[in-house]
Amino acid sequence: MAPQRFILRDYVALLGMLLATLLAATAAAQQKAPATNTAAKTEKPAEPPKPQTRAEKAAKMYSDAFSLAGTGRTLEAAALYESLVRQHPTSEWVPQSLAQAMNLYYKAEQTDKAEVISAVLRKSFANCQHTVTSYWTPAEIACRHDKPAPVEKTHRTA
């Protein structure tokens, strides 16, 4: 019985030394950490946020409208696209915004608004790639409402 107590006592002493070493190392690391953090904080003061440019504001509006359209809020998205055109008429996002607004109005079955935007898109941006949609989108919408033609079945005889 005596040898077992001797071994158990040695293990307890060894664990005590390991625990003391771990605690000392942790305390030393914690004392060094705040010193490096305060030095880093004093070197660089926080810069105030830069104001957005007109191009960045237009891009943000387009992104917000695109997100609204993605969540199914088509009329709100179309209105935001139109406000982008009014607020930033010289932006590179204007033709694409007009095309998106037109598509959303067609999707919401507000063809009057869609046709007005389509006319503006064709007149103001005749050579733009987004203008092409103003020609084929009305035809695509009309085809959705048409019933497919009946298909004749032919039988082959061998």
Position 119 pLDDT exceeds 70 = yes
Position 63 pLDDT exceeds 60 = yes
Q: Walk me through the domains of the chain, giving residue ranges and CATH numbers.
A: 54-145 (1.25.40.10)
Residue with tokens 């103003």: 134
Q: What was the pLDDT predicted at 5? A: 52
Is pTM beyond 0.75? Reply is no
Q: What was the pLDDT predicted at 129? A: 87
Q: What are 15-38's pLDDT values in tens digits?
A: 677 667 777 777 777 777 655 555
H or E element at residue 144: helix 133-145
Distances (CA, A) of 71 to 29, 68, 75, 142, 148: 49, 5, 11, 25, 30
